[in-house]
Amino acid sequence: MRKLDLFVCFLFFVPFVGCKTFPTVKPSVEFEKELNVNNSTVNFSGQDFFDAGADADFEKYKNKVNSVDVERITYTILESTGSASTLVSGQLEVADSKGGNRATLTTLTNVNFANSLNRETDITAGTAALETLENALSTAPFQANLYYSGVADKGPVRLRLKLKFYTKVTARIIGSN
C-alpha cells in the first residue's frame, strides 16, 4: 500500500512542480527558400520572408521546439537569364521576423553564374547571423527575414536562387512549449 501511495503522490505532484528535463528527439529538417532577382541594372537588392513554420517536416515539431541548430547552408543558382554573367559582389543578411538583430549571413564575390548553375555551393555563415537565424526559427512565429544585395558585371540581372538550410531540431517528445 505504501508504494501505491507514493506512486499516486508522484503522479499528482509532478505536473505542478514541472520537470526540467523532458525526453527529446533531434530530427534533421531541411528548409528551402527560393529568391528571385529581377533587375534591369547591375545593382540589385531585395527582401524576402522565410517561414519555417510552413514546412511540412517542421510542422509536427513546431509547438515542441527547444532549439534549432543550423548545421549547413547552401545556395544553388537554378536559373540565370539577362546579360549579367558574373556576380562581382553580393551579400545575404538575415533578421528575425520583425526585422531585428540583422546580421550578415555571407558575402559572395566573383561568382560566375554559368559555372555555378545547378551546383549546390556551401555558404560560410557569420556567427551572429547564425545565432539570429537559429533564434528566429526556434520560437513562434518560426520566421526570419532575408535581405540580399549585389552588383553584377552588367545588367540586367535575372536569377533564381535556392537557399537550403540543413538543420537539427531539438524538440520535446511529450507536452508543448
CATH number for the domain that contains residue 152: 2.60.120.220
Q: Is residue 94 part of a domain?
A: yes
Q: Please give the grid coordinates belonging to residue 91.
A: 551579400
Q: Which residues contact 10 (CB under 8 A, 6 or more apart)?
A: none
N-terminal to C-terminal alpha carbon distance within the chain: 36
Domain count, the chain: 1
Over residues 82-131, the pLDDT tens digits come to: 888 898 899 999 999 999 999 999 999 999 998 899 999 999 999 999 99
What is the domain extent for residue 83?
Answer: 22-172
Task: Provide the percentage of residues in the chain whose pLDDT is more than 90.
Answer: 65
Mean pLDDT by 10 residues, the chain (177 residues): 50 46 83 94 94 88 89 96 89 95 94 92 94 94 96 93 94 71
Residue 61 lies in a domain: yes
What is the C-alpha to C-alpha distance for residues 123 and 159, in angstroms, rounded to an integer?
18
